[in-house]
Chains A and B, each alone.
Chain A
Amino acid sequence: MELNQREKIKSILFLSPAIICFVVFLLIPMLYTVYLSFFDWNMIRPEMDFVGLDNYIKIFTDETTYKVLRNTFSYIGIILITNFCIPFVFAFVCKFVLHKFANFYKTTMFMPGFISLIVGSVIFTWILNPIVGPVALFLKEFGVKMPVWSTTEGLVIVVISLITSWKSFGYNFIMLYSAVSGVSGEVIEAAQLDNIPLRKIFLQIVAPMTGFTSFYMFVMTIIQGLTYVISPIDVLTKGGPNYGSSNIVYAAYFKAFYMFDTGGAAAMAVITLVIFGFGLFLLNEVVGKLVYYEN
């Protein structure tokens, strides 16, 4: 579309605040982080020492890095199941089977989305308190002693995932519900008339037809598993026990602000970005091919 002179000026004027903020607070910081990753610094000393790839080498030869990486994938795996697969299936069920309660579920499940993760952490810590929390007391009736999850390696991840999934389940449900709603009812009815079982209808017809939205939600859920968990980790375990609850994003944060290893933190952030970006790229290719065939 051709723009006349006046419109050109207006476009530039209106777009510039966003572009300036984007460049100053997103683009340049990202580049600067990459730059920082080649130095040894602690954010306070006036001089930074150039160390080349040293920070990266340190990270790759550190054992805890691999533990942290495993944790990262655990978090993502858990949250993909609880906050992507389950809401997806549930949305499908709500839309095509249980019509009536959809609105009620949407409204109530979204509430934790408006509540701080810190609030969630505080409340869940007490509900799951191994000695006097309601869950512990309930289990005591059955003679089961509740483990101290905050110092138990596997369980920490489960609990923190639980808190995170409580927070974003509603949002994911609403988005997936609308994605499912976008699929034309006629196709479903036709499939039902053909006596195709519901499970197949979901997996082979509805899911692929939700196109971009479910892809977006898939990525968003991964991001939730990567970044939302940071708040509970910082507040509850600080990555402990022994990095058992840390993930790759938190490890970078911890390095930067608790160990003052600015270069190392930057390197870790860059590695995260590369892994994540590469994963995203792969995903794009795979989904692109799937979407192509649906038509």
Chain B
Amino acid sequence: MVLYPILFAMDNAMKTDQQVYAGLTGWLSNGISLHNYIDIYERVPLLRIIWNTFAISSINTFLTMLVSFLASYVLVYYRFKGSDKIVGLFVWSMFIPFTVTIIPHYLIVSKMQLVNTWMGVVIPQIFSGSAVFLLIQSMRNIPLSLIEVAKLENISDRKIMCHIVLPLVKPQLIATSIWFFALTWNDFIWPNRILKDTTSYTLPLILQSFISGEGGGGFTSAMAMSVITMIIPLILYLIFQKHIIETFTSAGIK
């Protein structure tokens, strides 16, 4: 049930429209043909779009992880009066529906003249309550005694952070980064507002034009475009799936 749509897309991406309308056939029954992909490449600035998507996802993931990591570290290990309130605030911010912030975000980005740019897409998204939540959970899973021993031995704070905590949360950090990378890669609503011409688009944006056949293509082109859009995050998922599932699982066991 879950896999069917994925396989459906991959299969039909290789066919021509006539073959599809003729009736149902087995998977990959007409052999592997890349004509749809070549067609898309010629019709649309595909490489540029893939590069946009990749760049925006990477930058956003990097900045979000950096900001969240620093914040989580302080919130977990330097508990001070009110730090719990901040944690609560950050975590509950996950639940805010985007409509209350999207209009001002758009206004900010256009005032900063960042419409149609990568940073315009990235900057309002840097703070993420869920990133902070996941990282805090991972850090809390490290036994506190480890840190205390290190402090007693007068190891510098910087060393504690880089050589003890960081390596221990590395799997979760990687998993969360991959998750955010995929999230940004697949994002539609916000990039749709900010990116205006085809050469600036990300993959989901150009995919939209294939839905009604505006892009000039038919059903099979849409399938091919879908495969292109989903393949990178899926590959990342398959490589890192163990880490990813573990991270979410342990975040849930609290």
- The reply on A120 being an interface residue by CB < 8 A is yes
Interface bits A231-272 vs B (CB < 8 Å: 1, else 0): 100111000000000000100110011000010011011101
Q: When the two chains form their complex, are residues A268 and B20 in contact, meaning their CB atoms are under 8 A apart?
A: no
Q: When the two chains form their complex, are residues B103 and A273 in contact, meaning their CB atoms are under 8 A apart?
A: no
- The reply on B204 being an interface residue by CB < 8 A is yes
- A227 closest partner in B (C-beta): B97
A273 — which chain B residues lie within 8 A by C-beta?
A: 96-97, 100
Considering residues A8, A17, A249, which has the most beta carbons from chain B within 10 angstroms of its beta carbon? A17
Complex interface: stretch among A19-27, A50-58, A195-203: A19-27
A212 — which chain B residues lie within 8 A by C-beta?
A: 254
- The reply on B176 being an interface residue by CB < 8 A is no
A window 262-295: CB within 8 A of B:
262, 265-266, 268-270, 272-273, 276, 280
B window 10-38: CB within 8 A of A:
12, 20-21, 23-24
A280 to B185 Cα, complex, angstroms = 30
- A36 closest partner in B (C-beta): B103
State which of A29, A116, A166, A235 has its C-beta within 8 Å of the C-beta of B101: A29
Chain A residues within 8 Å of chain B by Cβ, number = 86
B window 67-92: CB within 8 A of A:
67-68, 70-71, 73-75, 78-80, 86, 89-90
Interface residues on B, range: 35 or more
The total of Cβ contacts below 8 Å across the A-B interface reads 244
Q: When the two chains form their complex, are residues A123 and B8 in contact, meaning their CB atoms are under 8 A apart?
A: yes
Interface bits B210-244 vs A (CB < 8 Å: 1, else 0): 11000000010011011001100110110001001
Q: When the two chains form their complex, are residues B126 and A265 in contact, meaning their CB atoms are under 8 A apart?
A: no
State which of A22, A107, A169, A280 has its C-beta within 8 Å of the C-beta of B127: A22
Q: When the two chains form their complex, are residues A117 and B74 in contact, meaning their CB atoms are under 8 A apart?
A: no
A window 199-215: CB within 8 A of B:
212-213
- The reply on A171 being an interface residue by CB < 8 A is yes
- B107 closest partner in A (C-beta): A43
- The reply on A125 being an interface residue by CB < 8 A is yes
A115 to B207 Cα, complex, angstroms = 13
- The reply on B155 being an interface residue by CB < 8 A is no
Given A15-B70, A178-B250; A234-B127 close (CB under 8 Å): no
Given A118-B186, A123-B9, A253-B102; A26-B249 close (CB under 8 Å): no
Q: When the two chains form their complex, are residues B20 and A132 in contact, meaning their CB atoms are under 8 A apart?
A: yes
- The reply on B104 being an interface residue by CB < 8 A is yes
